[in-house]
Structure 1
Amino acid sequence: MKPTTSLLAVSFFAADVQAGAGPFLGIYLQAHGWHADSIGTILTVGAIVGMLVTAPAGALVDAIYHRRLVVVCASALTIVAAVVIWLSQDYWPIMSSQIATAVAGSTMGTALMGLTLGITGRRNFDRQYGRIQVANHAGNIAAAALSGAAGWWFGISYVFVLSAIFGVACIASVLLIPARAVHRHYARGLAHEDEKDRSQVRAERVRVLLHNRPLLLLAIALAAFDLGNSAMLPLYSLAVSARHHGAASQITAANIVISQVVMLIAAVYAYRIIRRWGFWWVIFATLLTLPLRGVAAAWLTTPWGIVPVQIFDGLGSGLLSVAVPALVVHLLHGSGRVNLGQGAVKGIQAAGGSLSPLLGGWLANRFGFSTAFIVLGSLSAISLAVWVMQGVTIRRAFDTRRDELDKMADVDTSALFQ
């Protein structure tokens, strides 16, 4: 079996590890008498922990040579968290499980990027990572469909049993990747061919991230985008289930499945679109999906309204899931800080996402769901302003960087993509 095939299996089962209980947790806690503000607090704390852990997780993936072990540990955390939720619905056990899930999800995402870069190299990173995201979205679809079925037949608590099963499968899959298949230097973005020779192998200082203007602008734009986008799915599930009473787990599952199907399709073509139109235009198009999603969610709080609302989510998130990691590799390859850069960008992005459930829950309680969706969608104006006003500077930096990358050594992937 090719290591790229095993990596796809890891990504498939890692879907539940990265997402955790997701919006199902809100429905589960609501059924046990929790109020929307308490649910929002739990989700926000988890998001904040994930934000704080993401950059250190990237630094860990850069520094450690046993990168498969990172996936094993993250999966184990998810299994423990699922067991805790199954056994208790008290505040602090649930809080602890969300912290563990956040650590696992943040670490898993960065580990998958490092493994992909170490196996396929820079030139084929966007191509393989697009496949990784296809497998990941397929895993989300399978997990959501199975979770909806489990919630219908056995009760929503069995969603967490499924999460533990996916964690075990993820551990088994990553152990199928031979350790030698992951190039220890290329996995962190160092163009150094000899894996055994550690002399003369030095990563640049961390300040290389601060001096990279396009990277900082990307992080700011994504933070504003996630501030509006992250709360949309759980809030919309709550809005539809509250208005139409019952079948909450099935409505949530349908929300996830629709967006994940669209994300899967977007990820299939993402690397081709990136190579055809370039990073700037692809990210610009994804930022436009948020206001459209906000308006659709405000107007269409009906069971069939989940289709247009989640299509917008799928298009934006599907393209971003490939474009952003590939762009970070483009900007930082050769520095030895690629995974730290991935973690830093995702950490700043998560800073916006961590506040989104709190902001969305407060708006929904104070002004109603429709107003909350409109306000959240309007936050895209910040992202678009940053990206458009600095567009010339960003595109010029991309072109200059492309010339530099052409001169660097890379992994021989002829046997992987035949």
Structure 2
Amino acid sequence: MNSKTPTNTKKHSLNCLNWLNFSAADVATGLGPFLAVYLASNLHWNPSQIGVAIGAMSFATVIAQSPAGWLCDVSKKKRLGIVVVSITIGIAGFCMLFFPNFYAVIICQIAIGVAAAFFAPVLIALAMGIAGRNNFDNTISKNQTFNHAGNVVSAILIGVLGKLTHNAGIFYGLALFCLMSIIFSLSIKEEDINHEAASAAGDKKGTEPKKTSFLDMLKNKGFLILLFSAVLFHFANAAMLPLVGQELGKARTSNASLYMSACIVLAQLVMVPMSFMSGRWAATGRKKLMMIAFFILPIRGILYTFGKGAIYLVSIQILDGVAGGIFSVVSILIVSDLFCGTGKDNFAQGILAAAIGLGASLSNVISGYIVKASGFNFGFYVLSALALVAFLLFWAMMPETVSCADEKPGNKDMKLNLA
């Protein structure tokens, strides 16, 4: 039997994991740009207030992300974790709807941010724990494909609900996907999860995890460059779509949610094939594939300044789809390469997610004030400049990595060097 083919007994759990990624696509990111439309159109908040609200979730995720990754490494209650955080996010969403004042929204966004921090490490751990090291690349690729497909469906559904209810329906859409996440999580068979493998403990069956401290992790050049690059990339990326949403919401028409839905749907439709193929393309080189994602981002930011029509703004999301599809898969694979056999894979994934969240939170808060002071075009210029810096840093300093499932000579030198 091919070692990269999962046994029949685990196919059910792998399918449920795919659908969990599908349903968690909307839950794990909260309402995102739809909330920006709601706050601008329904509550008439200014860009700086909206930036603080969106950034509150991202900042809370930054704080909770590394502890979430650590807890995922040591806990055997991963399915229960998904249930708890899904319920938390659903309740917080309804609280924002029924208590629409500034402080209530900020508190709810913080609660969503803390809960959302658990999704990334838990989903990655389940992929490793069910599929194993040899099938990890393929499983993550499929998971991310379902994740982006879920974003397409949720964006369409929430966009339609927003249209029919003057944006209030977006909170009911969030609750629906929370419920789906709970169902698919509980449908995964507990006996199919190898919790030791889920933390990447040991290169092969029977080996002991290497002793790896937090200081050891921070001594790894590749990991540090990836973290700094991810902060800059998501500082440049995170605020772009919410800023587009605010531009669409300024008109205060009933079509604002539909236009935002179109932005998300187009990007996610492109991400579906990009994620699927990235798992295969990454086998020939992680770095050169990731560089494509980094190079596209500054181009996208500049293009937003060339026109303000809804159709034009929506069409640019094709570039977001290409970059996002690549980053979502390859970043996970790089971290997995670097920390294979340490038992700290989920902790490292949590640190990366924290770096992403840090960039996103800074992006939404700071860009809101920049746009309020100098306008939307200047805001996009600043974000594009930061995206260019991220590309140059990654291109000049990031080493190549190779999957630790690859037995080729010399591959061991690409792993985490624990002196």
TM-score (norm 2): 0.90
Q: 1:328 to 1:257 in 2, by over 3 A?
A: same
Residue 248 in structure 1 maps to residue 256 in structure 2:
yes
Contact 1:57–1:110 (8 Å) recurs in 2: yes
Matched AA of 2:14: T
Contact persistence 1:185–1:192 (CA under 8 A): no
Equivalent position to 1:265, from 260, 270, 273 = 273
Q: What is the CA-CA distance between 1:200 and the residue it aligns to?
A: 6.1
Q: Secondary structure at the match of 1:300?
A: coil
* Aligned 8 A contact 1:138 1:261 in 2: yes
Among 104, 119, 127, the residue aligned to 1:108: 119
State how 1:118-137 maps to structure 2 within 5 Å: 118-137=129-148
Q: For 2:282 and 2:385, locate their aligned partners in 1 and report how far apart those are by CA, in whole Å.
A: 26
Whether the 8 Å contact between 1:220 and 1:349 is mirrored in structure 2 is no
Partner of 2:8: none
Relative distance call for 1:60 and 1:313 in structure 2 (3 A) is same
> 1:93, CA displacement in angstroms?
1.7
Counting matched residue pairs gives 400
Distance 1:12 1:399, change over 3 A: closer
Task: After TM superposition, give the deviation of residue 185 of structure 1 in Å.
Answer: 0.6
- Which of residues 343, 346, 350 in structure 2 aligns to 1:336? 343
| Match among 215, 232, 241 for residue 233 of structure 1 | 241
Task: Give the Å deviation of 1:17.
Answer: 1.1
When residues 159 and 307 of structure 1 are mapped into structure 2, their CA distance, relative to the original with a 3 A threshold, is closer
- Does residue 345 (structure 1) correspond to residue 352 (structure 2)? The answer is yes
Matched, 1:390 2:386: no
The gaps in structure 2 that reach 5 residues or longer are 1-10, 413-419
Runs of 4+ in 1 over 3 A off after TM superposition: 192-195, 199-203, 243-246, 397-407
Matched ranges for 1:278-289 at <5 A: 278-289=285-296
Q: How does 1:43-54 map to 2 (within 5 A)?
A: 43-54=54-65
RMSD (Å) for aligned C-alpha atoms:
2.2
Offset of 1:33 from its aligned partner?
Answer: 2.6
- Cα 1:51–1:404 change in 2 (3 A) is farther
- Please say if 1:275 is aligned against 2:283: yes
Q: Deviations over 1:42-74 (max 9, x none)?
A: 111211111111111100100101211111111
CA, structure 1 residues 400+72, in 2 after alignment: closer, same or farther (shift >3 Å)?
closer
> Which residue of structure 1 lines up, in the alignment, with residue 367 of structure 2?
360
Amino acid in structure 2 at the alignment position of 1:225:
F
The answer to whether the 8 Å contact 2:64/2:114 transfers is yes
**TM-score, normalised with respect to structure 1:** 0.90
Contact between 1:217 and 1:387, CA under 8 Å: does it hold in 2? Answer: yes
Aligned mates of 1:167, 1:358 — CA distance in 2: 27
Deviation at 1:349, TM superposition (A): 2.4
Show structure 1 runs of 5+ residues with no match. Answer: 408-418
**Corresponding residue number in structure 2 for 1:14:** 24
CA distance in 2, matches of 1:323, 1:398: 11
- Displacement after TM superposition at 1:320 (Å): 0.5
Distance apart, 1:244 and its partner CA: 8.5
Judging changes above 3 Å, is the alpha-carbon distance between structure 1 residues 167 and 58 closer, same or farther for their aligned structure 2 residues?
same
Structure 1 residues 182-261: aligned runs within 5 Å: 182-191=193-202, 204-242=212-250, 245-261=253-269
Percent identity, aligned pairs only, is 27
Deviations 1:281-309 (A, max 9, x none): 01111100111111111112211113442
Q: Tell which deviates more after alignment, 307-316 or 60-69.
A: 307-316
Q: Secondary structure at the match of 2:166?
A: coil
Letter in 2 for 1:282: L
- d(CA) in 1 for partners of 2:361, 2:169: 26
1:12-51 matched pairs, under 5 angstroms: 12-30=22-40, 31-51=42-62
Tell me the SS of whatever aligns to 1:335: coil
